[in-house]
A and B are shown apart, each in its own frame.
Chain A
Amino acid sequence: MIDPLQVSLKIAASGLQVQSKRLRVVSENLANAQSTGRTPGADPYTRKTISFETEVDRITGANFVRIDSIERDRAPYRIEHDPGHPAADENGFVKLPNVNILVEMADMREANRSYEANLQVIKQAREMISMTIDLLRNSS
């Protein structure tokens, strides 16, 4: 039994899942935007990136979405002169995370919008199912 409406519900649910994982990555990046290393010259927190991929469901043949991978951003770290810092190297430079708050905020907003869109799909599909069931009810 493959009810297309039920399948859309499932697909939208997979969308919700990946978008919430994306928000998790964003929150990690934001929270660690100031996390430095502990020892002199140590690397600070590295920004994480997330990518999605299509997953074909064997039973329904539908294209779900899933997390492809969560990787580290290879962009260079920011460097700041702060000789008193525990992570400062011999020249007094501290490596700061390669997190750009603006980029993270934009990413967060995008995750929010995608989540909303998927929620809207769920709402719509549920409404269509309910309307169909109501046919049974009103005619009696």
Chain B
Amino acid sequence: MIDPLSPTTGIGSSPGVLPMAPSLGVRNAARTPAAGSASADFGAVLGRMITDTADVLRTAEATSIMGVKGQASVQEVVESVLAAEQTLQAAIAIRDKVVAAYLELSRMAI
């Protein structure tokens, strides 16, 4: 259990992936052998994360434009842009983590 990619634990129970992607945990229960479903889930997780981040970024952009027009205060603009920055950083960190775990899996000797 300590080594996430130890051959005895197998793909599905890799702890490197599970805590970050609950949907992968569901797949673990079903334990389907198809690699395609793994990539679909993986993509879905990433996609959802990126959609959320894009929403925050869009809000920040809209607020910035309103700020330029003089309809939003400087505080509101700064607040939303900083929130977007932080969300983006978190998303990138999580993505890096998930991609690293995925690469680890793909490097596993068969």
Size category of the binding interface on chain A = 10 to 19
Count, A-B residue pairs, CB within 8 A: 29
What is the predominant secondary structure among interface residues of chain B facing chain A? helix
Task: For chain A, residues 86 to 140, give those with C-beta under 8 angstroms from any C-beta of chain B.
Answer: 126, 129-130, 133-134, 136-137, 140
Closest to B74 in A: A20
Instruction: Select which of A16, A20, A126, A133 is within 8 A of B93 by beta carbon.
Output: A133
Size category of the binding interface on chain B = 10 to 19
- Are B86 and A133 touching (Cβ within 8 A)? yes
**Complex CA distance for A39 and B86, rounded to whole angstroms:** 57
B55 to chain A: closest CB distance in Å? 15
- Are A20 and B73 touching (Cβ within 8 A)? yes
B86 to chain A: closest CB distance in Å? 6
Task: For chain B, residues 60 to 84, give those with C-beta under 8 angstroms from any C-beta of chain A.
Answer: 73, 75, 79, 82-83
A132 to chain B: closest CB distance in Å? 9
- Are A129 and B94 touching (Cβ within 8 A)? no
Closest 7 CB pairs of A and B: A136-B93, A137-B93, A16-B75, A133-B90, A140-B100, A133-B93, A13-B79
Chain A: residues with CB nearer than 8 A to chain B? 9, 13, 16-17, 20, 126, 129-130, 133-134, 136-137, 140
Chain B: residues with CB nearer than 8 A to chain A? 73, 75, 79, 82-83, 86, 89-90, 93-94, 96-97, 100
